Structure 1
């Protein structure tokens, strides 16, 4: 099945009822519009044949009633289609964002800004397929009614229109694949440009620090130029489709009007019928234009749906097994992982009850690979990763994510107050939160009372914070994020450089706080870091050398190795 078709079918199944009702109302509107020329022609013939005021009044009232039905059905039908499209776009944004946050392999190598473009413009464009169907169905029925009316006036004239219309519609449809390719390229390059812009803005400080702004500008200009070229190409394709629709309607209008005028001169049709033919030819431009616009939008919707499927497709194949028990050991058996520049492993390691294991390497990518093996975000290329005796990859993803918390190095603080920022979403009680804040050494950020662990700390956390905690220092943001992770109390916690922006004294105290708080039979902790202070607090350390070979030992044992000392001592 071509990319995007499956998602479009799901959209129609979800919105079948409102889409059908809106489509029916839009069809009534088009039928009434198609009957307007006939009503006007009949009114003229009636006035000519029966020149009485009552006959004229009846004809005018009939036309007005037709317009009332026309306007009412149009208002309701197109309103319902608009609402349905907006609701579906919202649904696509929410479900896709949820998948992105839950499933690691749902985001294969795309930047955050690019995913933002997918969740906004692509979600809206994909939902527009509902309106496309309404346009096509209503326009097709309108054309059919027009052809029937013309057949009733003159068989030859009606047959001519019926023969020409399919060619026009098929010709419009032939433009669809070409427009789809151009639209896909435009959306793809636009997402890349948005992603590059987001990355450059986020990294502006380090770019200025090492003088990388000119190179960043050069790269952004490159992707921006590609986006511009693709947008121009897509706009050109859309213009061609619009021009083709106008040309087709113009030819149809001129041909039908000329044929009707010739028949009226020869006496084959009446004056009223001539008015109907000319007005009908003018009306035919509307449904043909609608079909041309629908073909163009359908191509855009298919391209957008294909990009959205890149998110949702990864979440469809869910494993059958539940997660391991909360107190189960996490075991690496000869496990290896690829880093892009080589392979890490094999690693034999058991993260036991209450243990705190450090991970460090010569190359940071190697450390990330080992951490990925432990949190399930990296598939082993050799060996196995087991939790509670079951392969980690065979466990239910949602259950694993609820029990293995992988806290990234990049800090994201969401909320307007400290209470909201520290919300774990797991119903953490105030005593647990207070203990986590103390362990993370946040006394300079959150003022905790000297009472016991069960104290109510909620009322002390109502201070406002700026968006993403920008009014806090880097070290303060790190410690608040660390406290939030500790307060969640996950059975397995994987931390990536959680204390890289704090001073040595605070770092040592926080490392001891992590070890003490997580020294529980239900907890297992992994810390990816190159800090000797943190590694010294770990029960064991996994060190990956430059060649990918992994060694497990204590910090005291490993520091005699020159490569380990060079990697961690400072």
Structure 2
């Protein structure tokens, strides 16, 4: 099991150069900040009090260079940190998505929306630890310089800083675990609410159909309230932390100011030293505030890293596809699964094979076995070549017909027209030049048959070596179905391509090279459509 510390360590290891440069920039910024009151004190004592014109010009140039270095070191450090954060968060997102896609769906898995939340916001929050720790190191160095300069002026003041500030930080750090717990709970509830929202939006049409919208609304309101309460709790803890920090800094400044005032009245400090000490006393609040405000950010990063580590620890259980030098094959050997008993079948290059399942269980089992989301109870499944399984449920993306079709690198007009002709979609395409027909959400302004044909054309344009289709013509009329059967075969029956059609459609089965019957008892019979028509079990499933 991957730990949050291991995730963070990997982030630092891969971004070590940028992290070092970013931290150096932040250290430089805090060092320059600490030098500002020292520089003004020196200017007062060596230029203003003496009235030396040359020293005045030299002081002006020095102050200008100091502020230039202060500005550029901060900007450079932030730039380097931002580059590292964006690159690493992107890498974490890709790695998490790979783990999610490489794992079969299970009842205990996180919701899709929650996984999306982790792969986006939590990935970013985890990598932001680079900048958080960089500024904390810079602030600590700034405190060190403050102690050093004060020691040069008076060791009592230095001792007060060296004792007071660590005690202050120790007390504030005790609040860190409480903040981390509340932040982790807040992130968890936000992810759950996002997951529920994604699921409800995806199923809005059936919810409206059976009247489930009120119950769905009630459940989402409850999840949203829990998320709100957790967020308020986390914000309250952060506000309490900030209040305690401000109060502590105020006490520290009051003590330092009182001591400095007494020393100035006693003549132990020059005017320049007085300005330096007061300036350093005021500057102390900046690094202390920085560290105190970054402790909650550090807690949030660690909490996010824990959620990221959980996803990265997922072991992939979807089998990899073997390579066969561009020749796709699909082999099932004595496979047993729900609705399937002892299926042995080898499909080769250039074939179009139909499979007639005895029911939904057999169809679902076969689809899951091929795409790797399901495992066989016995036997083996070997897939060689890139695979595309076009599901029966249609999901269209894009604002126009062209966008819905070209979801990859695109295709030229000749290939596009060939795919549209294969699925009998010329009428819709011809009515809208350049395929600019507007689509509403998921293409709901189209008929069911049109959506199904667009999804089929999209699958053909993907040009995968192995294409698995499940009931691709259930929403079209008989004439269109026959045209699609001929078109699919014409488009796919060529070397380097293998097509599996899981269906009970006679036109589709008649266009296949072979047909496999998965009988009610799990028995498997292989022949052609014409050869199986005489089989009563086949006729009952297919003929209508």
- The equivalent position to 1:367 in structure 2, one of 363, 367, 373, is 363
Residue 287 of structure 1, CA deviation: 0.7
Match of 2:98 in 1: 99
- The equivalent position to 1:408 in structure 2, one of 368, 379, 391, is 391
Alignment of 1:259-270 (within 5 A): 259-270=259-270
The answer (yes or no) to whether the contact 1:417–1:464 under 8 Å persists in 2 is: yes
Query: Structure 1 length as normaliser, TM-score?
Result: 0.79
Match of 1:455 in 2: none
Match of 1:451 in 2: none
Distance 1:4 1:164 in 2: 32
- Cα deviation 1:259-285 (Å, max 9, x = unaligned): 333444455444443332232122111
Matched, 1:274 2:257: no
- Report the RMSD for the aligned CA atoms in angstroms: 4.0
Matched, 1:300 2:283: no
Residue 65 of structure 1, CA deviation: 4.1
Distance 1:207 1:532 in 2: 34
Match of 1:134 in 2: 134
Match of 1:121 in 2: 121
Deviates more, 1:244-253 or 1:512-521: 512-521
Residue 141 of structure 1, CA deviation: 0.9
Residue 213 of structure 1, CA deviation: 0.6
Matched, 1:423 2:406: yes
Residue 87 of structure 1, CA deviation: 4.8
Match of 2:221 in 1: 221
Aligned pair count? 535
- Cα deviation 1:50-97 (Å, max 9, x = unaligned): 36676666556544543343233334433443454345445555x358
Q: Which runs of 5+ in 1 are unaligned?
A: 338-342, 389-399, 449-458
Residue 130 of structure 1, CA deviation: 2.2
The answer (yes or no) to whether the contact 1:106–1:310 under 8 Å persists in 2 is: no
Distance 2:9 2:424 in 1: 53
The answer (yes or no) to whether the contact 1:106–1:315 under 8 Å persists in 2 is: no
Matched, 1:524 2:523: no
Deviates more, 1:110-119 or 1:216-225: 110-119
Distance 2:317 2:21 in 1: 34
Change in CA separation of 1:521 and 1:34 when aligned onto 2, cut-off 3 Å: closer
Match of 1:395 in 2: none
Distance 1:321 1:111 in 2: 27
Change in CA separation of 1:347 and 1:261 when aligned onto 2, cut-off 3 Å: farther
The answer (yes or no) to whether the contact 1:424–1:485 under 8 Å persists in 2 is: no
Matched, 1:442 2:425: yes
Match of 1:356 in 2: 353
Deviates more, 1:158-167 or 1:210-219: 158-167
Residue 318 of structure 1, CA deviation: 11
The answer (yes or no) to whether the contact 1:351–1:524 under 8 Å persists in 2 is: no
- The equivalent position to 1:482 in structure 2, one of 447, 456, 459, is 456
Residue 148 of structure 1, CA deviation: 0.5
The answer (yes or no) to whether the contact 2:103–2:315 under 8 Å persists in 1 is: no
Distance 1:130 1:250 in 2: 29
Match of 1:501 in 2: 475
Query: Structure 2 length as normaliser, TM-score?
Result: 0.82
Change in CA separation of 1:310 and 1:359 when aligned onto 2, cut-off 3 Å: farther
Alignment of 1:28-67 (within 5 A): 28-46=28-46, 50=50, 59=59, 62-67=62-67
1:466 aligns to what SS in structure 2?
A: coil
